[in-house]
Amino acid sequence: MNDKHTDPASALNATAKFVATPEGTALAYGSLVFMALLPIFFGALRSVTCSKSKNSSDMPETITGRDAARFPIIASCTLFGLYLFFKVFSQEYINLLLSVYFFGLGVLALSHTMSPLMSRIFPESFPNKQYQLLFTQGSGESKEEIVNYEFDTKNLVCLVISSVVGVWYLLKKHWIANNLFGLAFALNGVELLHLNNVSTGCILLGGLFVYDVFWVFGTNVMVTVAKSFEAPIKLVFPQDLLEKGLGASNFAMLGLGDIVIPGIFIALLLRFDVSLKKNSRTYFYSSFLAYIFGLGLTIFVMHTFKHAQPALLYLVPACVGFPVIVALIKGELTEMFRVKTCVVLLPLFLPLALFCLKLAETQRDRQNQAQCRRQGNLSA
């Protein structure tokens, strides 16, 4: 839900229409926490398989500390560019363009997410034919491959199902369709965006802190874009589900940035566990539990002080601090910071994708701020 109320009178009027019950609030936030854990857990497991893939189409690139340090600048340029677009052009047409863009990305992401599941569901007798999509440039010895994508009938079935969900989202903007796309984006992000080492992860997360402070608190750019931006870059769950069923319309939300950014770090630690060859997942489970603790602490503080909280303020120290303490106890700290893995980096879409994740977090914070303000006015 995009809250448009900015003055106390409007907030009080909104409160008169709806006040979340304790049961509805608990169900909404419990569901959001559960949905956030799914892409982190399964995305991390799939990232191990992805890192071992020998398919030429899955060959990764490496993101270095310099790339991570450069990201806040790239994201800032993307953010300011969108800000100028919303100022110059009609918001309706920009959001229409973004809807089509995320429709395409969402269909591909959901299809990729469903593919392993479909491979297990279909019987072995299913006529599964192989296809290849090949685009080349030039001819003879100078011929160069631009696109070489192999797929089968099962992948086509996944694509059809994903397209149906995409059309549903475009026409209805239903929260279930939004969540299906959001979960697919989050799982693919955790699976495919691999940090090459812990130091790079710390640089990236530290840069995002600076990015947040400047654009959210130093200017109105982030808030302006967040109020105008409509896309499935967040998970939502209705707080009035018990009263209105699937037609509920008052949502709690969690930005994908609060899932993917810690998730890619947790996935790195799982690959570190695998590299140790000790048949143990100590660092993965410690960081996974740290994420649950950090997210729970965010919700607790938000409702205690009736003020929106940036989730990364709690998630980053927890997800980094817990595994570091474990490494200190086990005497493996040096080895942890030395581990190297590959990263699948989508050079064209990474800045916009991670920017959208941070933007979703800002939207979440704005909504929670408005909700806490309405509850405060009601108590007064």
What residues are annotated to the active site? 212, 258
- DSSP per residue, 284-302: HHHHHHHHHHHHHHHHHHH
Nearest CA among 202, 201, 164 for reference residue 181: 164
Cα end-to-end span (Å), the chain: 24
Residue 113 near residue 185, CB atoms below 8 Å:
no
Locus of tokens 């704005």: 366
Report the DSSP beta bridge partners of residue 134. Answer: 148
Rounded to 10 degrees, the C-alpha dihedral 256/259/262/266 comes to: -140
Query: Which tokens belong to 146?
Result: 């631009």
Helix (H, G, I), strand (E, B) or coil at 253: strand
CA 106 to chain centre: 12
Query: Which two structure tokens, joined as six digits, stand for 324?
Result: 């570091």
State how far the Cα of 204 lies from the Cα of 356, in Å rounded to an integer.
16
Enclosing H/E stretch for 234: strand 234-238
Q: Which residues pair with 202 in a beta bridge?
A: none
- Measured CA to CA, the distance from residue 372 to residue 268 in angstroms comes to 35
Determine the residue type at 242: L
CA quadruple 275, 112, 294, 362: dihedral positive or negative?
positive
